[in-house]
Structure 1
Amino acid sequence: MEQPTTADTDPVRVLETSGDDYRRAFDLFLAGTDEKPRTHARLGEIAASLPRRRVLLDLGAGDGRTTAYLARYFDRTIAVEPSAAMREKLTAACPDALLLPEPLDRAAPPEPGDLVHLSHVLYYVPEPDWFPTVTRALDWTAPGGVLLVVLQNPDSPCMRMAAHFTGVHYDLRPLLDRLRVRHPSHGYALETLALHYRTSHLAEAVDVAEFMVNVADLVTLDARPTRGALTAYVRQHFARPDGGYAIGHSQDMLIVRRARA
């Protein structure tokens, strides 16, 4: 029987957003996914539908790729990003944006946004704080504007893998139900975009799978899953008949259209 290598028995890495390993895995993911073109197309439709496009407010703007795409629709852009490493890229991508370095719970945007974009941020917010966090973002949304909350779909292969190894479960539907009860005058929709990462190489698929299981809870586990276990999971669930690998990572888009004043 083949014996596991040292790499097989090593735990999956906790990838720091400012580190080289994170950037490499993220670049691999971006190179193989259809996320940006498909997501940007839908975001463009939402932006174009707004009655006013004065201010874009991007909360947790990251490296600024999506911020830069959306900024073309608006007169002004305000971006909140507490990570210094991400702000460096954000500044290069959006040199005219007003950057706020505070965390969301301490940020104070100077004016409301006609589009408030909160994308892939709630993973890093304890679930009991989701409602107050999103309510704060809704307070920063101009009357007639849209708050857009984006998160991985809980039933996607990506999130089933994350749940298998870490026990996490993210789901926007309970949040949507609470918002409807508390703020019934606003309009609500929950959409799912089917997205896929593809590669011909097992090693790249495993590196991207490691990136995908790097949820906030990973660092708290008593024993992190091994690279060998992750590799076996990728082979079993994501191998394609053509010899490549595909990981579905559909995302949910919660669209809140704030009532006009």
Structure 2
Amino acid sequence: MPTTQEKKNANQLGEALARCTLNSSRKLRPFSGSKTPAKDEDVFDTWIELAKGQLDEEENDQEKRKRIREALRPPAANIISDLRRDQQAATSEDYLGALELAFGGTESATELHVLFHSSHQKQGETPSEYLTRLQDILRRLIRKGGVEKEKNDGLLLSQFIKGILYDEMLLVNLQLKEKVSQPPTYLQLLRMVRREEAEQMVKMSHRSVDAPKKEAKTFHQSAGSKEVGEKRKTPTNSRPNFCYKCGLEGHYKGKCPNEPDV
């Protein structure tokens, strides 16, 4: 039987392991900003979106700053070191802003506004792909402070409706124009669009299967009609040696030696 001290040690070990597991799951993915990033690193746009999502769950700004520093590798880590030296009271938002300045896109909020509102569906691009592309631009615009998060859904839906060029029936089927006053979130809209795409794909597959059957049926009907027509055109003579002059068989009218049968 384990002693009281052994039980206490086991409990402490379990708590320590639980804390390690929690801290590990709370770690941000690594980021360096290097031109040749390691395999476990994300590109900046992906990294900062994931980091913002994870940091939103944390209330303590000191803990946020710590988690950001732990995730960074040079040269990104050097950016934060410089910031801390120049601005000792820098917040986690300041950290992310400095990284955005160093590694984010160089477009201004105005330029991203123009890009967003001039983006249309490309030929061969599915509606869901177009929607995802719009959302990527909108995320960058939000990070630049060009639009409030509360207006995100309305802007996205309005531009999606405006920019769809090759799948306009999708707008009708999903009644998206009626949803402008109360727009769905990006994920809700994406789910709706992808379901509609899947339904259209199923219908197209059914049509492609039925088309050869219809063509084969039409071909057989046409061939049968042609055969009947040819049979009708072919003259038939059930009495090939009958003389229509004298009424006897065995010779033709042109060689008949008999008097006409009147």
Which of structures 1 and 2 has the larger relative contact order (alpha carbons within 8 angstroms, sep 6+)? 1
Answer with 1 or 2: which has the greater Rg: 2
TM-score (norm 2): 0.25
TM-score (norm 1): 0.25
